[in-house]
């Protein structure tokens, strides 16, 4: 387990942002952390990346306590922030070199670390252009290259594909997936796109500072949403059946076999899981 | 590397370089347009004769102030980056294994390096002007004294501005503060109007502002030789009162500041503000 969170809580002056959450992330997995804005996602990430001190409970990354052994934690992780943290007037390569030096890398080692990050993220083409002049997708790739410069064991991505066009979004997503598969690096991400979460190994849904669900996408789908059977009959009548499992459709279809004009089975999606678990009315930006 | 970052970010951004030099350009403009003539006439009247050396001496007196001001405005321009970083790059630094004290040191040394370069640039401007007017280069010993003074002055300005940036959270607030400082600094350091022509109370403000001592030290380096020549045949009291009037030295009751005293004021102020900054950072 690369991350262990035990009864973690964080309260600010008048609100409890995170109230006693528990979860674990296994090494090498792709982990999705879901929740509406204000659910406690950012607070949790900020605690795990040592930006915020926790109020209670325990949290370790790579076996190190995030509060007491922050320095050790920081050398294991790479973070892609929601908003850009690189310098717009410096070139991509200058940015990577300066940020790489924050890990104590110097000279030839630093150069090869930068080259490596550039190669993995395929940003060679615009590596000498100023970061501020890049397109959204190019910037995101550069942000990821930045987070990879110290070859972290654990990569945090806070909404890595938000604000990108669908094509770029899918490119970035595939790159992340590929990285995680080939390098064995653990990826911890937050996202708003359910189809992305559906591809991860483990999902935790958080709402109002509490964990609402924890499991594989399949487990969550089975537990928190149902398939829908839609039948249109030869006499024009139309009926819907909620199904606990997809095969439950068979006896129903069997029963009406002679009268059916059209059969449609809609599988539950991660969107349904998410909507069922979180109160949409609390959505605030 | 963080020091280099500050320097690249500062010098590549032409507007920040320009605004750091704005105070210099204003002083230079005022001097060329009317301050110079006014002050030269005052000196001529006191001496009772005219000489090209008068022009050289007055340029030195005003531009010593200009050089001292740059050690503040130069650092200020570079430290703007540290304020700007609070919203963005700081997150990245804080999630990296580099120690927080190294980050702080990066800002201080980086902005001091920028301040030093900008201040030497202001000194270069002075040299060009003086030579164009038929003056001579300063001696090697004086140049060493000048480097020493500029170094102290930059560190002192840096310590004060760095302390200030600890309380500023947004870039807008920083811009407002630096505009205010940029416009007031010329008065507080007694550059626009000679200290002797100001009411006593205002004079005390100038004398008590530590950075004024950088200007005073620079004036001693740049113009004392010329003044000694000009006043060679005049009664010694007139040189003494001239040096007091134009802020070459500061007089506190019976005590007159010396080069060493002023240097000590700068060192002391630098230490006080760095220690205060350290305490503020610790408290946070």
Residue B88 and residue A104: Cβ atoms within 8 Å?
Answer: no
**Cα separation, B90 vs B171, whole angstroms:** 14
Encode pLDDT of A227-254 as tens digits. 888 888 888 888 888 877 778 888 888 8
Q: Which residue in this structure is represented by tokens 């059946």?
A: A241
pLDDT of residue A18: 85
Q: What is the mean pLDDT of residues B243-266?
A: 92
According to CATH, where is 3.40.50.300 located in chain A? Answer: 3-216
Domain extent for B49: 2-283
Low pLDDT (below 70) residues in chain A: 279-285
| Contact list, B91 vs chain A (CB under 8 Å) | 51, 79, 81, 85
A75 reaches B (C-beta below 8 A) = yes
Residue B97 and residue A51: Cβ atoms within 8 Å?
Answer: no
Number of helices (H) and strands (E) in chain A: give both, helices first.
10, 13
Encode pLDDT of B191-231 as tens digits. 888 888 889 898 999 999 999 999 999 999 999 988 888 88
Q: Give the pLDDT band of residue B171 (cuts 50, 70, 90).
A: confident
In A, residues 141-170, which contact B (CB 8 Å cutoff)? 146, 150
| Contact list, B2 vs chain A (CB under 8 Å) | 98, 101
Sign of the Cα torsion B177, B178, B179, B181 reads positive
Q: What is the mean pLDDT of residues B67-73?
A: 92
Q: Phi/psi of residue A160, each to 5°? A: -65, -20
Share of chain B above pLDDT 90, in %: 48
- Taking the CA of residue B96 and the nearest CA in chain A, the distance in Å comes to 5
Is the separation of the CB atoms in B154 and B111 below 8 Å? no
Encode pLDDT of B223-250 as tens digits. 998 888 888 888 888 888 889 988 999 9
Q: For residue B93, what are the CA distances in angstroms to A51, A153, A158, B90, B134?
A: 10, 18, 17, 5, 52
Using CA coordinates, name the residue in chain A closest to B98: A102
pLDDT of residue B149: 96
pLDDT of residue A279: 60
**Cα separation, A177 vs A163, whole angstroms:** 19
How many domains does chain B contain in total?
1
pLDDT of residue A280: 54
Chain B: residues touching A (Cβ < 8 Å): 1-2, 4-5, 8-9, 12-13, 88-89, 91-99
| Contact list, A97 vs chain B (CB under 8 Å) | 1
Q: What is the mean pLDDT of residues B107-113?
A: 94
- Taking the CA of residue A76 and the nearest CA in chain B, the distance in Å comes to 9
**Cα separation, A218 vs A224, whole angstroms:** 10
**Arithmetic mean of pLDDT over chain B:** 90
pLDDT of residue B16: 84
pLDDT of residue B9: 93
DSSP string, B166-226: TT--SHHHHHHHHHHHHHHHHHHTT-SS-GGGS-HHHHHHHHHSTTHHHHHHHHHHHHHHH
Q: Which CATH class is domain A3-216?
A: alpha beta
């Amino acid at each position: 387990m690369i991350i262990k969170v035990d009864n973690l809580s964080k309260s600010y002056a008048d609100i409890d942002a995170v109230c006693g959450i528990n979860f674990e992330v296994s090494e090498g997995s792709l982990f999705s952390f879901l929740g509406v804005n204000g659910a406690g996602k950012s607070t949790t990430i900020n605690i795990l990346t040592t930006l915020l001190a926790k109020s209670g409970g325990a949290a370790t990354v790579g076996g190190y306590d995030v509060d007491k052994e922050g320095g050790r934690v920081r050398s294991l992780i790479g973070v892609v922030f929601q908003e850009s943290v690189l310098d717009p007037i410096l070139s991509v390569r200058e940015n990577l070199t300066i940020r790489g030096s924050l890990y104590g890398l110097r000279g030839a080692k630093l150069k090869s670390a930068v080259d490596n990050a550039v190669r993995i993220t395929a940003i060679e083409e615009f590596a000498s252009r100023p970061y501020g002049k890049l397109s959204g997708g190019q910037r995101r790739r550069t942000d990821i290259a930045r987070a990879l410069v110290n070859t972290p064991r654990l990569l945090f991505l806070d909404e890595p594909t938000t604000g990108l066009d669908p094509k770029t979004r899918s490119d970035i997503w595939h790159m992340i997936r590929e990285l995680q598969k080939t390098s064995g690096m653990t990826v911890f991400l937050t996202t708003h796109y359910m189809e992305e979460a559906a591809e991860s190994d483990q999902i935790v849904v958080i709402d109002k500072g509490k964990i609402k669900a924890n499991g594989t996408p399949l487990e969550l789908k089975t537990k928190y949403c149902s398939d829908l059977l839609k039948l249109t009959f030869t006499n024009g009548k139309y009926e819907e059946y909620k199904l606990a499992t997809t095969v439950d459709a068979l006896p129903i279809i069997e029963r009406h076999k002679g009268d059916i004009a059209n059969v449609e089975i809609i599988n539950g999606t991660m969107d349904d899981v998410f909507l069922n678990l979180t109160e949409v009315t609390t959505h605030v930006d | 590397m963080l020091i280099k970052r500050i320097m690249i970010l500062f010098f590549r951004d032409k507007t920040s370089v320009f605004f750091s030099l704005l105070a210099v350009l204003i002083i230079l403009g005022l001097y060329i347009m009317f301050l110079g003539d006014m002050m030269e006439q005052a000196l001529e009247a006191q001496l009772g004769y005219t000489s090209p050396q008068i022009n050289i001496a007055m340029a030195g007196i005003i531009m010593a102030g200009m050089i001292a001001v740059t050690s503040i405005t130069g650092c200020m321009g570079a430290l703007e980056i540290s304020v700007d970083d609070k919203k963005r790059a700081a997150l990245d630094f804080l999630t990296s294994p580099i120690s927080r004290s190294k980050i702080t040191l990066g800002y201080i040394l980086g902005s001091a390096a920028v301040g030093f370069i900008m201040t030497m640039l202001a000194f270069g401007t002075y040299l060009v002007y003086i030579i164009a007017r038929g003056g001579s280069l300063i001696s090697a010993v004086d140049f060493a004294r000048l480097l020493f003074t500029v170094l102290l002055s930059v560190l002192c300005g840096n310590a004060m501005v760095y302390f200030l940036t600890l309380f500023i959270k947004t870039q807008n607030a920083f811009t407002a503060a630096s505009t205010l400082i940029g416009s007031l600094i010329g008065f507080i350091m007694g550059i626009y109007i000679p200290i002797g022509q100001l009411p006593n109370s205002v004079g005390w403000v100038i004398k008590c502002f530590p950075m004024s001592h950088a200007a005073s030290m620079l004036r001693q380096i740049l113009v004392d030789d010329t003044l000694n020549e000009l006043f060679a045949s005049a009664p010694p009291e007139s040189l003494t009162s001239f040096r007091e009037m134009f802020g070459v030295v500061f007089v506190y009751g019976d005590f007159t500041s010396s080069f060493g005293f002023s240097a000590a004021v700068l060192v002391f102020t630098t230490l006080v503000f760095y220690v205060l900054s350290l305490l503020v950072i610790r408290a946070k």
